[in-house]
Structure formats: C-alpha cells, structure tokens
Amino acid sequence: MSYTAYRAEESFLDQRLPIGRLNWEVVSYLIIVLLSLIAHLWGLDRMAMHHDESIHAWSSWRFYTGAGSFNCWGGATAPTYCYDPVYHGPTLYILTFAAYFLFGDGDAQARLPMALAGVGMVASAWWLRPYLGRRGALIAAALLAFSPSLLYFTRFARHDGLMVLWEIWMFIGALRWLDSGRARWLYLTAAAVALAIGTHELYYILFFIFGVFLAMRLLSESRFSRYLHWGLIAVFALCLVLMVINPPLPIGQGLYLGEKAFLVASALALAWLCQGLWDPRPLLTERLRMTWQTDRSSIWVALAILAGIYLVCYTTFLTYPPGAIDGLYAGLAYWLGSQQEYARGDQPWFYYLMQLPLYEPLAVLSGIGAVVAMVVAAVRRVLHSRRVAVVETEEEGEEIEEEPTSALPAWPLAPLLLTFWFFTSVILFSWAGEKMPWLLVHMALPGNLLAAWVLGRLVQLARHPDQPATAAQILVPIGSLLIMISLGVAFWRAGMSATGQAAQSNLLQSLVPLLVAGVVIYGLLTLVNQIGGRAVLALASLTLAGLIGVYTLRATWMAVYEHPDTPVELLVYTQTAPDVPRYVADIRTLAINLTRNQRSAEDAAGGITMPIIIDSGDANGDGSLAWPLQWYLRDFKRLAWTKKDAFQTNPGPTTFEVDLPDGTRGLAPIVLLYKPHVTSEVRKALEANYVQPYGSTGVFNWWFPEGQKCSPASPGYKRFYYSSWTSEAVLKAQPTEDGGRGGCGRDISAEVQGPLAPLVWPFMRENWSWLYPYLIYRELPEPLSPGAREMEVWIRRDLAGGVGANETTTSADLRLLAQAEATLPVGGTGPTGAAVDAQGNLYVADSGAHQIHIFGPDGNLIRSFGSFGNELGYLYEPRGIAIDAEGNIYVADTWNARIVKYNAQLQVIASWGSGAQDLGDGRKATITDGDPVKNAENPLGLFGPRGLALDAEGNLYIADTGNKRIVVTDTEGNYRYQWGYAGGEPGAFNEPVGVAVDAQGNVYVADTWNSRVQVFAPDGTGQVSPIPIITWPVSGWQPNTYDDPAIAASPDGKVYVSIPSRQQILAANLRGDVLLRWGGPGSGRAALNSPSGVAVSPDGSVWVVDRNESRALRFILPEVQPVP
C-alpha cells in the first residue's frame, strides 16, 4: 500500500565494492556525512558569541553548575532549570548541559548540540530514498550539508539548529509509517513531535502546516469528499469577507482576524492544489484502520514516548512539576500575547523573499518550478477529465459520473507535501511579527528537500537507463553553459552606465554575445530530435543548477567561515563584533597577572577575583552590555553591574571604586561602558585614572545595514517597508513608546513606492553595477554601512602599559621639543628597541613588522631589513639592539629565542640561543621559571630575550626576560656567565626587560615588575658582581604589564628610563636621583604617547621610540643636576 514511494532505479550506485556489502551509494553517503561533520565542527568557536547564543550558553552553564534561582513562567522561581517561553524550550538547555558535562564549558561546547543535530539532519537523508530516489536522496544530503543558512545556524547556539532535525524526522517518520506501517517509524514521529514541542514554540506553526495538509488528506478520503470543493469555496468566501472587515481578535495584542483568514486561505489553496494531484485512493484512513485493528499497542507506545519526553523536558527530570502545565500554553500565551505585536527586528513583509534567493536559490527555483508543474498538471487533469466525460457520453449516450477517473498519473505524496510545506512556511514566517534570519532554516529545509526531488527527476529525465551517454547529451551542458555566459556578458555590457557614443558602443558589444547565444540555442534545438525535448531541457536545467550550486558553495564559505560575525551578510543580526572576544581575552590575561599573588581555593588559577565595572543600561536595561559579556566573564566573581545613573550622577574620583581582592577599596581595573552613556563629565572622570588601549570606540554588536523605514528615499531595504497599499492612518501614525511597530511621526504617503517595488528592484538596470559585487564578494555599496552599538573599554592607567593610545595630563607649562623625527615606513607597527652607531645612525626594532629600520641622524630612512619567520635570516618580534665598534649589529630575536649577529653589510654571520619549547604560533622558548638550577642547566636557553648591551671589553649582556636573569656572552656567542633568578630580593629579577652599560662598566637592569633599576658593578675578576651596588625605584613600572620599557646609559654617567604608562622619559644619575622628566600626551614633537626604546647618540642627544605613534624623536637635553 505504498502510494508515496519513489520508483527504484538501477544505476552505478548499486555497484558493489570489494569491501563487504558496501556499494557506491553507501560510500557516497559516508563521504557526505564525514564532510558535513568536518564542516559543522571545524572552527566552531571562531565566531563571536551572538547575543542570543550567549543567553542560552549562560543559562545552560548555570544549569550545569547548579547555580540555582531560575526564573520560571508566571514569575515563579526554581532551584534548577525551569521553562520560560522568553528563552524557548528546555531541550537545548538539557543537551547543552550534556555537552558541558562531557567536554567542559565553552563557545564550541555551547554550539555542539546544534552542530551534531545538523550532521544528523544530513545523515537522515538516507531514509528519504523511497521518496526522492537514490540520486535525489544523495543530492538532498549534499544540499542539507552545505546550504548556507542550514550550515550557519546549525553551528549556532539557538533552538532552530535542533528544530530542523526534529522536523525532518517528523517528515520521514510520518511518510515511512504511512507506507510500511512499521511501528518504529511511528515511534520516530512521536519522538520528533515531543522533541519539537520541547524545543521551540514555533512548533505551533509546524503543526498548523502539517495539520492543514493532514486535514485535507483525511477529508479527501472521507465520505464528505464529494462536498470538499464546495466547502472550500465557502471557506474562501468567508476568509475574503474577514480580510475586508479585518476585525480584531479578542485575545493577544495587535492580532486581527483578517490576517489569520489570509493565512488559512493561502494554506487551503495550496492544499487544494495538492489534493487535485495526489492519488485519491485511501491511504491515511486505511493505515489508521489497519494499525488500530492489528497493532493497536504501537499507538499507545508512541503516545507514551511523546508524553515521556514531554514530561522529562518540561519538568526538568521531574524536579519542577508545574512545568508540565506551563509547556502546554505558556509559549502561545507569550508569543502571541505580546511578541507578535512587538515584532522584534521590525522587518518588512518581504524579508525572507530577499534572503531566500540570496542563500537558497536552488530551493526558490525548484519551488517555483514545482508549483508551475503542479498548476499545469492540475489544468491538464481537469481538461482530460472533461474530454473523457464527453467521449463516454457520446459513446454510451447517457450521463456519466460527475468526476470521472483520470488516466493521467497521480503525483507522489512526498513532493506535494514538500511543496506545500515550503510555500506555506514562507507565507507564515513572513506574516509572523518577529522575522529573524535564523528562522530562514525552517524554509530552507523543505526547500532543499524539494530541490533534491526536482534535481533527481531531472537526472532521471536526462539519461537513458540502458544506454551510455551520447555526444548529444554531452553537448547540451556545454551549449547551455555557453548560452549562460553569453547572456551574462550581454547583460553586463548592456547594464554599464554610459551616454552618447559610449552607450551605443556598449549596446553593440552586447549584441555579439546575444548572437552567439542565439546560434547555440538553435544548435540545441536540433538536438531535440536525437535525445528528445525533455532530455535537452533536463540537461540544460541541470547545467544551470550546477552553476547555482557553485555560487551556493561560495555563499556558504563566505557566510560560515570567512566573515560569520561581520554584517555584510543578511544572516548577521545583532551579532557580537569579533573585537569583543579579543577584549575578553586581554582582560583574562590581565586578571590572571593582577591576582597572581592572591590565589585561593576559590581562585586557584588566579584572575576571577579581579573586579570589573560593566554598564547594565538604564532602568529598562537599554544600553546594557550584559550579553554576551555575562557569558564571556561567567567565571569572574566580582562583576559590578552598574546602571548608567550610578556613574552619570556627579561622576568623580570615587565613582569607579570597588572592593579589591586584597580587602581594600580602590579603582576598578576595568570599566566597560555603553558609548552613548559616556557623557563629557563621565569621560573627564575616567581620563583622570584610565586609558583606552583599544581606541575611543569599539563595536559591541552590529547588524546588516537596513536603512530607515521612515525615509523611503534613503538607501537600505527598509525604505520599502511601507508602500502605496499601506493605509493612510499608518503612514501618518506616531511611533510607539515601547519600541514596537509604529508610525514615523510624519506623513510619508507622498514618498512611498508601490508594493512590488522591492521585488522589482533587483531587475532594474541601474542596480546591476553593485549587485554583482555584492553577490560574489559581499561588497556593500556606498553609502551603506553596518548598524552598530558601540562600547568603550577603559583600563586603569597603571595596568594598561603600552598597549594602546594612553593619555595623561601634564602640569608643565614648557615641554622639551624634539629636534628630529624618524617615522617608520608604511606597515611599520609596534617599534620597541633602539640603538645608535658611531656615525649617529639610529637602528629601531620594529617588533610588529619583524624588521630593523636604519635612519640617518636627521631621521631619514636609510634601509630596512628582516621579515617574519623562524629560519636564520628571519625575525620574530625583535626587541633589543646593540652595535659594536666595527659596525656589527646584534638583534634580540625575541620569539625565535636567539641573538642574531649581522655584519655592517647586514649579512648574518652568527646566531646563538635556543628555544626548546613551542609556545604556539611558531614562538619558541626555553622556560626555566627563573630557577637557578634550571638556569645553570640551560645557559643559552632563552625565553623572550629583550634588552641587549655591549661593554668596552666585548661582553654582550642579554636580558633573558622570561627566565629572570642576565646572560653574558662574547661577541661570537660563546657563553661566559650569568646572574639572577626569580624573586624580589637584591640580585633577583621579575621581568628584566632592559639592560645598559656605562663607561665605567656598571650594568643597569630595568627590573620592571619589581618596579626598580638595579645597578651592578664590575668585581675585578672580569665579571659583574651579582649583588647590586644600588637599587632605586621607578614609579610607573607596574607588575604584570607588557609595555616594554627601556633603559640606556650615556658616556657622562646619565641613565635614561622610559615609563610608557606615564608617557614620560626619566633622566637620572647612577644613584637614581631624578635629573629631568619630559614627554606627555598629545601630538607634535613634544609629545610622547607611549615611549619605549631609548638610545644615546655619540653627541649626547637622546633618541626615544614612541611606540604607538610608530616614530622616534631625537631630543637635545639641557644641562641639569640634582637638587641638593
């Protein structure tokens, strides 16, 4: 009794392989499923967590960690997870709990259930072979695996990624049960229905879609089938009356009977069309009757499965019994009661008609083709029935049955259901108030399955089962491709904007490819006699489908992998900007470093006790930065969520104070604010103690440029929101106060266009010039730009280091002015170390560009050398530089863990030092943790070497920063001795960054994280004593900062120290007496925004590298002496 199954066909897929029972079909499926698994799991955590994703991930994390105090429907609370329709059904949270339990919590783990559901959806295509055919089912698996919208949102921590799996299981289970009667398919259907109910409230829409189709099938099989047509006509008439009157519904907000009548009429019209084509013999009623009579227990088991899954999900494993009642009605009450009118996103009616052709063109074209074929078939059936009736009447001379049996073949039930499902979904989701890009998957699923059926049919029509491919069959795709290329060139030339003679030239040039296309079309028509018209049409259609498939793969790559969190895609909406996870990573590093010495059982690794102030918006939560920061900072114990009024009211020195981990009260290390909340007074209060290392503005979340619905002349698709069909009352209405759908506050009736304007727009010639760049490269045309919400990141000045554009104030009326400026070449970034040779030439280590730049005494660039790499001759973030009397150059190749010696001709002549460990990204280091024993065992094993200095005896002093020591070699790299270890006592170091030697052989070490300079003197044995003769503090050098300050010594005994956090250079003598300070924020040659490297010229002038400004300044200093 299989009326829905597809005819089996023999093909190469049946050919067995010499490996067990495998054939090419099984191998093909395995390959597609494997590729789907890779596509779903690769880089799963790469995209920033979306606003909605972070809510679901965080709620699941609270469920997983037993945080308690969950908000339930109706204002109730529970100690464990409970259902709240605001955040949809419980299935996602239960499955994410399991992912966290197995693999720990994280972005990838939060998306893992949806990703595996996507793979399961692809694998489920195997069960569709009876309905799509073997080729069609294989095509379905490929389409489902690499559909842009399906792949994107099954790698997305939202419920829709799970729903598509339950939907395809409902479809498969119902059809397979109808055909076979096997209980397992009924159980699959029951489980899928239960899981759908437990996942998302849109199951109401799905049940309406399937319910209408099911009702039409039951009525057509019932005793009332003879009255069905008249009954439907009466329903259509009633719907038409309701659409005209459009009375409001007594339930919900903003709901009207007219729009509901339109939905019902549309669904019934499509179902009526299907009813005219399917096999009229009893199928559903017969299956129900047989099951009830012969296998009644399977019905009760299926109901038990449905009820069991429902109860487990909604009662959270029976821990919250009220959830069993809430799940029955709360979702409908919430979403129809308030959200339908609120219409989050406020998208126009054509929203999905814009997205579907962009991301699912095969589904759209297949759907249109299927409907056209259905209408043609329905008309043919009607005409055929009338002809049969006339013939029988003439032959028999008597009246016949009013509905004679048609000899035309009936359509299989599966493609009819897919067509109905696809188009009804488009209509219903376009009507829904909340139109969001993730809902596209519920149209893409039936659309791609329908496309697979259509393509399978085309493959069947294009080939002769018993004959090999002929030359004609090969020529058709080639000719079709040539026609498409010719037409594309013709339209391209015709679409080019020009006037006068140029326009005529373009027109003539477009005629040539049109002529070529005409000749090829004639050639294809001649092939009709050889292989048949259907085969030619099928082969041409498959060629077009292949081209569209290539475009779809590119669209998938761009949306899913190239820029998944960048709003050049219509799929991107309120997406967290990719900078936010980078901010969070830096905050975590800073937190670990800052609280390293306050670890406890609560904070074993350090970091989570650092306090952070975060803007929680106004009283209504508008402007809050909660999502995704609440997820990203979930482990932090001292998040101070602060309303804007708290810091906008009389902001002052204490506004941003919090309780610190050591029990004291002080300024919060980090302040994160919504940019519109930062008033001038708030900014002034922040600037006194904070800097913005990432610039004055950062994007928090953003979305595809939409335009303004109240400005029909402006760019963006929302200019078509209203049309000439919109009522005058709406066009003149005032905006709503709650942010829902409202008017514009002015009369725009004279500005709007016709209702079909958005559908016609892509076909208008003047739009082609930028439509192609967007389709192929996702290039947004001017003046479109993404919409965004902006934030500001403020880091306490003493913690910020040289990461960004720090700003301070200075009380000096006069400032030292540089006499020369050396600007890094284009591409230069992050300069640090500096040295000067005997001729006064300046050498700058450009760490970010992995190069050394050489400037003349006047600041003009002479030469650059070096590039990124690990091999000898390449550099990886070089820092320190030293130059000997012969002009040889010594470079601290920091992350290659070595010292490289170049001769005056810039040829590598020696290298020493090694890194035994790979720190990732090619960084190498030998890590001793500053332990004296390990230091001795690894005399030239370096960890991030920075500062270099040469003395008159040819000793090279290396600041082995990570290993907390100074290593001494000769100029050929032979190890001599070392001193230092991790600690804070004299002779110990904590992040020794810089080293310098004066004319007397005293060695000065910038012991940065100990906030001091230690001075070591020669001991008379040819070595330097490991015990300092003098130690003096440097205010502004802070622990756990990475801004690479520097130190230099002049022949006359002065020492120069850079203090990046205070934007100053300090000049002192051997004892640390301050002789001079200069620098400060601003622009021009008196400003130092992030001073790093320091070097003294032979003439006594001082070069200072200004890291953030990518330049170096030469200062001539006045004669100074310490105040007695």
Over residues 968-1026, the pLDDT tens digits come to: 999 999 999 999 999 989 999 999 999 999 999 999 999 998 889 999 999 988 899 99
The reported pLDDT for the residue numbered 678 is 94
Range 23-32, long-range pairs (CB < 8 A, 24+ positions)? 25/134, 25/138, 28/138, 29/123, 29/125, 29/126, 29/138, 29/141, 32/122, 32/138, 32/141, 32/142, 32/145
The reported pLDDT for the residue numbered 927 is 94
Burial of 770 (0-12, 13-18, 19+ CB in 10 A): middle
Q: Superfamily assignment of 820-1115 in CATH?
A: TolB, C-terminal domain (2.120.10.30)
pLDDT single digits (tens) 675-704: 999 999 999 999 888 888 888 888 999 999
Given a cut of 60, whether residue 320 has pLDDT beyond it is yes
Least confident of 123-127, 271-275, 1059-1063: 1059-1063
CA–CA separation, 767 and 776 (whole Å):
15
The reported pLDDT for the residue numbered 1122 is 56
The reported pLDDT for the residue numbered 434 is 84
Enclosing H/E stretch for 640: strand 639-642
Average pLDDT over residues 67-91: 92
CA–CA separation, 763 and 713 (whole Å):
19
CA–CA separation, 147 and 115 (whole Å):
14
Q: 912: which strand partners? A: 899
Given a cut of 70, whether residue 251 has pLDDT beyond it is no
The reported pLDDT for the residue numbered 5 is 47
Residue 810 pLDDT class (50, 70, 90 cuts): very low
pLDDT single digits (tens) 827-836: 777 899 999 9
Residue 475 pLDDT class (50, 70, 90 cuts): confident
User: For residues 693 and 721, is the Cβ–Cβ distance under 8 A?
Assistant: no
Residue 259 pLDDT class (50, 70, 90 cuts): confident
The reported pLDDT for the residue numbered 402 is 44
**768, two tokens:** 């082609």
If one counts every other C-beta atom within 10 angstroms of the C-beta of residue 826, the result is 7
Given a cut of 80, whether residue 494 has pLDDT beyond it is no
Burial of 224 (0-12, 13-18, 19+ CB in 10 A): exposed
Residue type, 1075: L
Residue 392 pLDDT class (50, 70, 90 cuts): low
DSSP 256: B
The reported pLDDT for the residue numbered 113 is 98
CA–CA separation, 66 and 84 (whole Å):
17
CA dist 648 → 611, 652, 655, 720 (Å)? 20, 10, 9, 39
Contacts of residue 710, defined as CB under 8 A and 6 or more positions apart, other chains included, come to: 744, 745, 746, 748
User: For residues 1079 and 1087, is the Cβ–Cβ distance under 8 A?
Assistant: yes
Residue 76 pLDDT class (50, 70, 90 cuts): very high
The reported pLDDT for the residue numbered 260 is 84
Strands (E), 59-149: 70-71, 77-78
HEC profile for 436-460?
Answer: CHHHHHHHHHHHHHHHHHHHHHHHH
Looking at per-residue pLDDT, the higher value among 411 and 799 belongs to 411
Given a cut of 60, whether residue 8 has pLDDT beyond it is no
Residue 23 pLDDT class (50, 70, 90 cuts): confident
User: For residues 357 and 426, is the Cβ–Cβ distance under 8 A?
Assistant: no
Looking at per-residue pLDDT, the higher value among 1018 and 2 belongs to 1018
Please state the length of the chain. Answer: 1124
- Half-sphere exposure at residue 400, Cβ-oriented, CA atoms within 13 angstroms: 16
Torsion of Cα atoms, 306 then 307 then 308 then 312, to 10°:
110
The reported pLDDT for the residue numbered 406 is 44
Residue corresponding to tokens 């304007």: 757
Burial of 46 (0-12, 13-18, 19+ CB in 10 A): middle
Enclosing H/E stretch for 314: helix 296-314
If one counts every other C-beta atom within 10 angstroms of the C-beta of residue 914, the result is 15
Maximum distance among all Cα pairs of the chain, rounded to whole angstroms: 135
Q: Give which of 663, 644, 665, 643 is closest to 654, Cα–Cα.
A: 665
Torsion of Cα atoms, 523 then 525 then 528 then 529, to 10°:
-80
Percent of the chain whose predicted confidence (pLDDT) is above 70: 89
CA–CA separation, 419 and 447 (whole Å):
8
Residue 803 pLDDT class (50, 70, 90 cuts): very low
pLDDT single digits (tens) 278-292: 988 889 999 999 999
Least confident of 532-541, 698-707, 894-903, 950-959: 532-541
Given a cut of 70, whether residue 461 has pLDDT beyond it is yes
User: For residues 987 and 1027, is the Cβ–Cβ distance under 8 A?
Assistant: yes
Q: Mean pLDDT for the chain?
A: 87
Given a cut of 80, whether residue 238 has pLDDT beyond it is yes
The reported pLDDT for the residue numbered 959 is 97
pLDDT single digits (tens) 95-110: 999 999 999 999 999 9
pLDDT single digits (tens) 708-717: 888 888 888 9
Torsion of Cα atoms, 140 then 143 then 147 then 152, to 10°:
60
Percent helix, strand and coil across the chain, each to the nearest 5 = 45, 15, 35
Least confident of 389-393, 578-582, 592-596, 661-665: 389-393
**684, two tokens:** 């002034």
pLDDT single digits (tens) 1062-1071: 889 999 999 8
Backbone φ and ψ of 959, nearest 5°: -80, 95
pTM greater than the 0.75 cutoff: no
**1029, two tokens:** 């003769």
Helix, strand, or coil here: 503? helix
**29, two tokens:** 């499926």
Average pLDDT over residues 295-312: 96
Q: Work out the end-to-end distance of the chain between its first and last CA atoms, rounded to an integer number of angstroms.
A: 110
Average pLDDT over residues 923-952: 95
Angle at 91 between CA 90 and CA 95, to 5 degrees: 120
CA–CA separation, 1070 and 1011 (whole Å):
16
pLDDT single digits (tens) 406-420: 456 788 999 999 999
CA–CA separation, 487 and 44 (whole Å):
40
Looking at per-residue pLDDT, the higher value among 247 and 136 belongs to 136
User: For residues 374 and 277, is the Cβ–Cβ distance under 8 A?
Assistant: yes
If one counts every other C-beta atom within 10 angstroms of the C-beta of residue 150, the result is 27
The reported pLDDT for the residue numbered 15 is 59
Average pLDDT over residues 859-872: 94
The reported pLDDT for the residue numbered 1 is 42
